[in-house]
Structure 1
C-alpha cells in the first residue's frame, strides 16, 4: 500500500511500527515523505497514494475521492499556528495591508489566520505569499516579509530568530470555540475500507506509545536537523488522544472549522455527512 506523510516527528512516530512491519495483518507500506502542501496537491489532483496525511483545511476539495480516517491525524490544544513579526507588537492592526508569508493556502493554519484576520485586522492583510514553512522565519527576520504564519516546531524555535509572537491562533480558536484545533488529517481512497486503515493506524499509535524508544532512530533520521529535545516536544504536543480516536469532540472541531471557512468562502461547500 502506498502512503504519504511528512517527515515531521509526530508522523514518523505514529507510523513507525506500521512502516517497519510491526503491526500484525497490516499491509506493507511504500512511503513517500512530503511536506503537507505537496500532499494536499497530490490529493486534490487525484494523483496521490491510497493513503495520505493532508491538512484539514484541504479536506473539502478531496472528499469525493477520499474518506477521512478517524485515526492517525493531528488535533489538539495548545498546538496552534503562530503569527510572527519582526516588530515587537501584538497589535493586529500592524499587519493591515502588509505582506504575510504562509506555508499553504489549503491548510488549517491558513483558515485560522484568515478567520482571525477577518475579526482583528481592519481592511485585511495585503499580499499572501506561499513559501515552504522552514523558509518563513528567516524571511521575517531578514525583513523580506512583514509577518509569517508558522506551524510545527517553529512554535519552539522562533525565539532563536529574534521574532515576536503577535498571536497564537490556537489560543484564539480555543477561546472562541472551546474545541481542539484540527490540523492534519489521514485520508484513504474511497475504494479502501477506511475502518481497516483506522485499525492499523491505531495499532501503530498504540505501539509507539508503548515502545517510545524503539522509534527514536527513525524519528531522528527524518527530523530535519531538529534536536532530540525539540523532536520529543513536537511528539508530546501533536500525538494525543485525538490521534488514536477522532471522537465526537474531534468531529465537532472539524465541522466548526470547515463550516466557518465555507461561510467565508475560503473552502467549497460540502455535505458534512461525507466526513463520517
Structure 2
C-alpha cells in the first residue's frame, strides 16, 4: 500500500498579541482539521515581521498593509486575518492636550516606519518631514510619560490602556480615516502567504486559517481565555473588548469595504509619494 505523503510545515509568524493569539487558537490547540499541514507559531513584533517578509522568510506572516507593496513580489494577501480599525485605530497620545496643528513641531515616538500606523500618520500630516523616533511599540507609552518624546503613536492594546497611564489622545487616526473616506475602515494588518507555495497550497492554507478565525468567534469564551496570556496585563473584559476591535467579520473576510479600503489607502500613499510602488492586490 502506498504511504500517503505528509504535507509541509507552515510557519505562521505573527505578533505576540491577544488578537493574533485568538485568531490562531483553533490551529494551535488542534480544534480544527489542519488537512495534514503542521503549523508552527513564530512570535515577533510587527516591524520585525515586516522586515522578515521583505526577505520572504516565513510561509505565512502577519504584516502591516503599509509593507505589502514591498513584499508583493513574494507574497499574496490572504482574504482572512485582517486587522481593520473601523472608526478607531492607532492614536497619537501625549501627557497634555494640544492642537493637532502643533504635531508637525513635536517629537513623536513611532512603532516602525513600515507600520500602517506610520503611513496613516504621514497621510494625516500630509508630509514625511516631521520629527520622529522609532521605539518598540510597548515602550512608547513609557517614553511619553517620562518626557523622552512629546507624543507617541500607539498601536495594539495601548489604545485601551493609555488613559490608565494618565495620557490624553490628540488624534485617533482610525476615526480620522473613517470620516475622511465616508465610512471605510483603516487597513492596519493583514496575513500574507508566499506565492512560491503554489496555488493549491495557498488556497488550502487560506481555508484553514479562515476556519481557525471562525472557530474562535464561535467559541469566544475559551478562545479569549487562551489569548489572555498574550494580553499584557489586561483584564479579561478589556482583552475581550480589544479582540473584538480587531477580530470580527472583516477578519473572516475583507469583503467589499475592506478591499476598497486597502486600495484607497495604498493609492493615496502612492500618489503622495509615501510609497514607491502601487502593487496589484491579489487575495487568496
Q: TM-score, normalised by structure 2?
A: 0.90
What is the alpha-carbon distance in structure 1 between the residues aligned to residue 141 and residue 157 of structure 2? 12
Report the alpha carbon displacement of residue 275 of structure 1 after superposing the two structures with TM.
5.5
User: 1:144-176 deviations in whole A, cap 9, x for unaligned?
Assistant: 101111111111111122112111111110011
Aligned to 1:185: 190
Report the alpha carbon displacement of residue 95 of structure 1 after superposing the two structures with TM.
2.3
1:138-149 matched pairs, under 5 angstroms: 138-149=142-153
What is the alpha-carbon distance in structure 1 between the residues aligned to residue 101 and residue 191 of structure 2? 36
* Counterparts in 2 of 1:198 and 1:76: CA distance versus 1, 3 Å: farther
SS at match of 2:13: strand
Report the alpha carbon displacement of residue 78 of structure 1 after superposing the two structures with TM.
2.9
Q: TM-score, normalised by structure 1?
A: 0.92
Aligned to 2:276: 268
Report the number of matched residues.
270
User: 1:162-221 deviations in whole A, cap 9, x for unaligned?
Assistant: 112111111110011121111111000002333222211111011111112222443122
Equivalent in 169, 173, 178 of residue 173 of structure 2 = 169
SS at match of 2:78: strand
**Structure 2 residue runs without a partner (length 5+):** 1-9
Over the residues paired in the alignment, what is the CA RMSD in angstroms? 1.7
The answer as to 2:133 corresponding to 1:112 is no
Q: Are 2:87 and 2:177, in contact at CA under 8 Å, matched by a contact in 1?
A: no
What is the alpha-carbon distance in structure 1 between the residues aligned to residue 122 and residue 196 of structure 2? 34
Aligned to 1:38: 48
Equivalent in 50, 58, 76 of residue 67 of structure 2 = 58
The answer as to 2:198 corresponding to 1:194 is no
The answer as to 2:216 corresponding to 1:208 is yes
Report the alpha carbon displacement of residue 226 of structure 1 after superposing the two structures with TM.
2.3
Aligned to 1:128: 132
Aligned to 1:235: 243
SS at match of 1:266: coil
What is the alpha-carbon distance in structure 1 between the residues aligned to residue 233 and residue 16 of structure 2? 11
What is the alpha-carbon distance in structure 1 between the residues aligned to residue 106 and residue 97 of structure 2? 16
**Structure 1 residue runs without a partner (length 5+):** none
SS at match of 2:138: helix
Aligned to 1:94: 102
Equivalent in 150, 168, 171 of residue 154 of structure 2 = 150
Report the alpha carbon displacement of residue 133 of structure 1 after superposing the two structures with TM.
1.1
What is the alpha-carbon distance in structure 1 between the residues aligned to residue 83 and residue 74 of structure 2? 21
